[in-house]
Structure 1
């Protein structure tokens, strides 16, 4: 059985997206907000209008797990549903992106991602 590490990692990211979807359903957040805001992190691609370095910086900042995970933590600790909802949508977006093979960007090209370097 020849399973590539990349496939396992993509499955992990898909699991994260599914888990976020389940928590979104569990907390009964509005589905309309999920539909409207799921692609919001992709607005960061406007940085590529400046140049590849700025574009990669903006994209990677909005597609890193750090900010939404911190926001989810704040939402849980402070029982702030809006923070939890935003964080779940954001984390779901990142999980889906990475499961589809869209990773963090290198400054040399939009299509050059960290996932490409995983065997």
Structure 2
């Protein structure tokens, strides 16, 4: 089952990469923006509840898809880029075992304890 879930994450990364190739941005934009969703950990400065909420919002795949679809629907390449980066980043995180956070602590995720 674990390998099947990893294959799913790789498939989502490839989908995001495919979408990115259709956008009007240079190749280096994806790696340059790849870590931007991790800026959401700044929310932890306000405590674990706010931190988990900020982190989960920036790493939730439904948010990534919604942002991307809105960008596509309204022909806004920047929003489509944002959704693509969010999906690519979130799938990569899940591939490495980093899941959505619980309010009990940064290391407690829906995929199990990290570290």
Contact in 1 for aligned 2:101/2:107 (Cα 8 Å):
yes
Contact in 1 for aligned 2:55/2:101 (Cα 8 Å):
yes
Contact in 1 for aligned 2:48/2:104 (Cα 8 Å):
yes
Aligned match of 2:40: 44
- TM-score (ref. length: structure 1): 0.84
**Number of residue pairs matched?**
113
Structure 2, unpaired ranges of 5+: none
Partners of 2:27 and 2:66 lie apart in 1 by 23
Please report how far the alpha carbon of residue 90 of structure 1 lies from its aligned counterpart in structure 2 after TM superposition. 1.3
Are 1:34 and 2:34 matched, yes or no?
Answer: no
Please report how far the alpha carbon of residue 28 of structure 1 lies from its aligned counterpart in structure 2 after TM superposition. 4.8
Partners of 1:94 and 1:58 lie apart in 2 by 14
**Larger C-alpha radius of gyration, 1 or 2?**
1
Query: Per-residue CA shift, 1:50-88, capped at 9, x if unaligned?
Result: 221111111111111122211111122222222212211
Are 1:82 and 2:78 matched, yes or no?
Answer: yes
Contact in 1 for aligned 2:24/2:77 (Cα 8 Å):
no
Are 1:16 and 2:9 matched, yes or no?
Answer: no
Please report how far the alpha carbon of residue 20 of structure 1 lies from its aligned counterpart in structure 2 after TM superposition. 0.6
Structure 1, unpaired ranges of 5+: none
Contact in 2 for aligned 1:6/1:115 (Cα 8 Å):
no
Aligned match of 1:56: 52
